[in-house]
Amino acid sequence: MKTVKKFLRNGLGVIGALIILGLIVVAVFANQIAPYDPNAQNYDQVLSAPSSEHLFGTDDLGRDIFSRVVFGARISIEAALISVGIAMLIGVPIGLLSGYYRGFWDEWIVMRSVDAMQAFPFLILALAISAVLGAGFGNAMLAIGIGFAPAFIRITRGQVLTLRNMEYIQAARSVGVKDARILFRHILPNALNPIVIQATLAMASGIIAEASLSYLGLGVQPPTPSWGSMLNQAQTLLSVAPYATIYPGMAIFLVVLGFNLLGDGLQQILDPRVRK
């Protein structure tokens, strides 16, 4: 309760949380919110400007842009959750084991692999992995998750290195508590705060990465509405229908802003290095 009160006093964090809550509501109730089928084509309404009938206008196939933006929220939520979930499933266990047992495996296998992967810009790495795996939403999520994993490995390992020599961990070892219990009952719960902060911030990057891969044709495939693929399809319409790019671009901006504000707000209350 005390933590919740601290968070509620952080105005920007609350704004971020409200934006993300709005995104979730839109994604869950997309069928009720969207006035049209997002894939329904109406050639009598091609490139119609925003109006009371079509709030965001229509694209070059006569599809309602507002409906497609609304349904695109589902893809963004899935992209954020699935990609970060994959990264955590890979990175957290490896970071735990690497930091706890140390040795050759830690220094020369895990950390050198992490250094090599982080030497590449994240989006370039995700693009390369996605190109190898092939186009499609599932492959894009796997590529993004693998690209995120090194950050979770490094953060988790750093926390374990700090906690493994604490007195209560040494006491647990001295009475014969098994390593698995120490790792998952004593170390991991105390290492969760920075992992949660990183996960929240990574969700923003995951949405951008999904939109980028979809824009390049390696993510969500048409006609499924994705904000990235909508930008790709509308880029040739800038001179005649700029609204076709403005609205999906604004959606990406607002959601990424929301996750970043939420992550910063959580950092203010969970990270002792910045906590007041």
Other C-beta atoms closer than 10 Å to the C-beta of 41 total 14
pTM for the structure as a whole: 0.88
Tokens of 23: 């995104």
Average pLDDT on 199-209 reads 92
Supply the pLDDT for residue 7: 73
Label residue 125 by pLDDT band (50, 70, 90).
Answer: confident
Q: How much of the chain exceeds pLDDT 90, in percent? A: 55
pLDDT above 80 for 31: yes
Q: Which two tokens stand for residue 42?
A: 């109406």
- What would the pLDDT profile of 162-174 be if each residue is shown by its tens digit? 888 888 888 888 8
pLDDT digits (tens, 9 = 90+) for 208-264: 999 999 988 888 888 889 999 999 888 888 888 899 999 999 999 999 999 999 988
Neighbours of 105 (CB within 10 A): 12
- Domains of the chain in start order, with CATH, are 2-270 (1.10.3720.10)
Taking each helix axis from N to C end, the angle separating 137-163 and 111-118, rounded to the nearest 10 degrees, works out to 130
Q: Is the dihedral of CA 145, 147, 148, 153 positive or negative?
A: positive
